[in-house]
Structure 1
Amino acid sequence: MPLENIVAFVAASFLIALSPGPGTAVVLRQSVHGRRAALATVSGMEVGVACWAVAAALGLSVLLTASEIAYHGLRIAGAAFLIYLGVKALVGKGRPTDEPPPASRAFRSGLVVNLANPKLGVFAISFLPQFVPAGQAGKGVLLLLAVLWVVVDTVWYLVVVAVLHTVRRWLGRPRVRTALEKLSGGVLLALGVRLVLDPR
């Protein structure tokens, strides 16, 4: 695979990672509870991205575009989970004495947020093939691109977690923590409602 294709793909993947979305909101919310929770969330998110990327590389995620019922069922499930997380953050007390969530729960939150996002699967279908060189079409190249996508996305979120960790004392202040909980909750709720109302 030509180096220019790899460079272009990495650059495009980085720009995609920069785009704010449910993952960013979830990581921001979990960062209030400390680096361990944030890293567990990122781990879950990247497993979800890996699943969609590999499914796209193997041609499995095409089923989403072929089955309207499967697409909308997954869309509603994903929206419901985002709304649940948003409402939970909004109604929570956000006290600094609250016990941080178990790493397993943070991992599941990140995993479900990405696995229950059908647009991620459809995006993978249209994104990965664009960087396959002519005459090299095949699952091997697509799987390589899938791995690179996950690596770039992981690196970006690790940077986000590292930055948030440097200001952990500020994040731990009661007022700041409560404000971040409400802010991330509002974003998650809005994203969930948007996913419900957008049938495309």
Structure 2
Amino acid sequence: MPPTDHLLAFALAAFLIILAPGPSVLFVISRALAYGRRAALITVVGGAVGSFVLAAAVALGLGAIVQTSAIAYAVLKYAGAAYLIFLGVRAFRQRKKLREIWETQPSGGTSGRTWWQGFVVAVTNPKTVVFFGAILPQFVDPKVGHASLQMIVFGAIFAVIALLSDSVYGVTAGVARAWFTRSDRRLELVGGAAGVTMIGLGVGVALSGRKD
């Protein structure tokens, strides 16, 4: 178990990093606008679990592989980008059916599928793997031993903070969406915007490099 001062220092660093809106926040917001608050929160849970899985993978050695292998990095990057674009295109195509989806399936689909989408987007983000690989070891105390276990603990802390922070964004966007649901035209516009946002995120991920 990492020392208390290391835990607190990492929690503060993680909070400051997570607090700044990034691709994961934009993805959650776009999901909230397209399918509602419940879909956003389920997506957040899936993403948090995905972040923890990545942290555990980094602790067990995957981080070193992704950091040193251009092929591994590219596979993760393009898989994640393609999935984001796929979700964005589907959201855009469904923009005229959002009223029907809202009334029959408030979450925009089954809870399991929505959770899985958030999970996949999280675990296919190579930048997160590289980030964990760079920052987690900095807080490990060699005197305590079990470096991998310490990094897994830090990963769990990061996932919990991300869960809470992203949930706030999702709930806020979900509340704003309630105004759009009063008009089919407004609902269609915001659904289309959410789809375009997801597509843009996917394209951005695909075009980004290791220096970003």
**Which of 122, 126, 143 in structure 2 is aligned with 1:114?**
122
Segment drifting more, 27-36 vs 147-156 = 27-36
Kept in 1, the 8 Å contact 2:37–2:175? The answer is: no
For 2:47 and 2:132, the matched residues in 1 are separated by: 15
Identity %: 35
SS in 1 for 2:201: helix
Match of residue 75 from structure 1: 77
The ranges of structure 1 where at least 4 consecutive aligned residues each deviate by more than 6 angstroms after the TM superposition are none
Q: How does 1:152-167 map to 2 (within 5 A)?
A: 152-167=161-176
TM-score by length of 1: 0.86
Kept in 2, the 8 Å contact 1:30–1:106? The answer is: no
Q: How does 1:158-197 map to 2 (within 5 A)?
A: 158-167=167-176, 169-173=178-182, 174-197=184-207
Deviation digits for residues 139-184 of structure 1, max 9, x if unmatched?
2221211111111111112222333444453242334433332333
Change (3 A) 1:66 1:182: same
SS in 1 for 2:100: coil
Aligned length: 200
Match of residue 89 from structure 2: 87
Kept in 1, the 8 Å contact 2:95–2:189? The answer is: no
Kept in 1, the 8 Å contact 2:56–2:152? The answer is: yes
The answer to whether 1:30 aligns with 2:31 is yes
For 1:117 and 1:9, the matched residues in 2 are separated by: 21
For 2:186 and 2:29, the matched residues in 1 are separated by: 12
For 2:157 and 2:21, the matched residues in 1 are separated by: 20
SS in 2 for 1:61: helix
Segment drifting more, 40-49 vs 128-137 = 128-137
Q: Which runs of 5+ in 1 are unaligned?
A: none
1:96 corresponds to which letter in structure 2?
R
2:68 corresponds to which letter in structure 1?
A
1:69 corresponds to which letter in structure 2?
I
For 1:118 and 1:25, the matched residues in 2 are separated by: 17
For 1:144 and 1:93, the matched residues in 2 are separated by: 41
Change (3 A) 1:166 1:189: closer
Match of residue 103 from structure 1: 111
Kept in 2, the 8 Å contact 1:37–1:102? The answer is: no
Kept in 2, the 8 Å contact 1:86–1:188? The answer is: yes
Q: CA deviation at 1:110?
A: 0.5
SS in 2 for 1:96: helix
For 1:143 and 1:117, the matched residues in 2 are separated by: 18
Q: Which runs of 5+ in 2 are unaligned?
A: none
Deviation digits for residues 30-71 of structure 1, max 9, x if unmatched?
324333322221121112101101111222321112322121
Q: How does 1:58-73 map to 2 (within 5 A)?
A: 58-73=60-75
For 2:85 and 2:177, the matched residues in 1 are separated by: 26
